[in-house]
Amino acid sequence: MSLPTQTALDRPIWTALTTKQAHLGLGDALARRFHPDVAPFAAIASETPEAWRALHALLQPGEEVAILSTDTVASIDALQVNRVGTIHQMVATRPFTEINDDSDVIPLGPDDVDDMLALVQRTKPGPFGRRTREMGRYIGIREHGELIAMAGERMVIDGHVEISAVCVDERCRARGLAGRLMNILRKEIGLRGDTPFLHVFSHNESAIVLYERLGFELRHAFALTRISHAAPGNRC
């Protein structure tokens, strides 16, 4: 199953979960979600009562997933809806072909997961679970054995690969590490024939400035909404 690129980018979570990353998800033709240890994202085929009920069935009590939508999600029977903010989807508008210093950059694998989680905990780049690295290639930089910076690939759809989990330890910022790692990934993604894209909160101005400097442009804005079971006897 493949979708035209524009439609795929309009629905990146659903597209990833029904094509290249279906093996990392749960659900059916109405609603799908990534495995909880992979990513907290979910999507529905269409905004119908049947699809919302299917999503409800994929959630455990007390568990949350996040969805992207063009408009604010209305109240849904048996589900709690919490609008988190606005997400900007940015797409690289030009390929990266320059020579980039990668002499200290290492691939990150299963043995690095604890250190990756510790860096995420310190820097808060966004959702990252024990199995997130299974979504794509992750790279990082260590100093004196400590992981101080990383970036990787998250959602994958036909023609596009998302760059995510870009983070640098606070003690090591202002050294251009984030840009270096992103450029390495951009070049690798381009050599595979794909275009990099990313998602960032609209209020994260410093990150947006960096991404624009690296050649990313705003394509679309989404509402980010957390979905969970409504409290017994309540409707959202």
- pLDDT tens profile 122-154: 999 999 999 999 999 999 999 999 999 999 999
How much is the pTM? 0.91
25 plus 97 within the same structural domain: no
pLDDT score of 77: 83
Q: Is residue 107 part of a domain?
A: yes
Does 120 score more than 70 pLDDT?
Answer: yes
Which range of residues forms the domain containing residue 31? 5-86+222-229
144 plus 187 within the same structural domain: yes
Does 101 score more than 90 pLDDT?
Answer: no
Averaged pLDDT, 187-203: 95
Query: What are the start-end ranges of the H helices in the chain?
Result: 5-10, 12-18, 49-58, 113-123, 177-191, 205-213
Q: Is residue 98 part of a domain?
A: yes
Give the pLDDT band (50/70/90) at residue 236.
very low
Domain count, the chain: 2
Q: Is residue 111 part of a domain?
A: yes
Does 195 score more than 60 pLDDT?
Answer: yes
Mean pLDDT of the chain: 92
Alpha-carbon distances of 43 from 14, 34, 166, rounded to whole Å: 5, 9, 24
39 plus 102 within the same structural domain: no
Give the pLDDT band (50/70/90) at residue 96.
confident
Q: Is residue 236 part of a domain?
A: no
Q: Is residue 47 part of a domain?
A: yes
pLDDT tens digits along 202-216: 999 999 999 999 999
23 plus 115 within the same structural domain: no
Query: The domain that contains 152 carries what CATH number?
Result: 3.40.630.30
Q: Is residue 234 part of a domain?
A: no
pLDDT score of 2: 45
In DSSP notation, 192-209 reads TT-EEEEEEETT-HHHHH
Give the pLDDT band (50/70/90) at residue 26.
very high
183 plus 102 within the same structural domain: yes
pLDDT tens digits along 105-114: 999 999 999 9
95 plus 27 within the same structural domain: no
78 plus 132 within the same structural domain: no
137 plus 62 within the same structural domain: no
pLDDT tens digits along 2-18: 455 568 999 999 999 99
79 plus 142 within the same structural domain: no
122 plus 82 within the same structural domain: no
Does 231 score more than 90 pLDDT?
Answer: no
Q: Is residue 159 part of a domain?
A: yes
69 plus 100 within the same structural domain: no
pLDDT score of 176: 92
36 plus 123 within the same structural domain: no
Q: Is residue 142 part of a domain?
A: yes
Residues contacting 221, CB < 8 A, separation 6+: 86, 87, 88, 89, 202
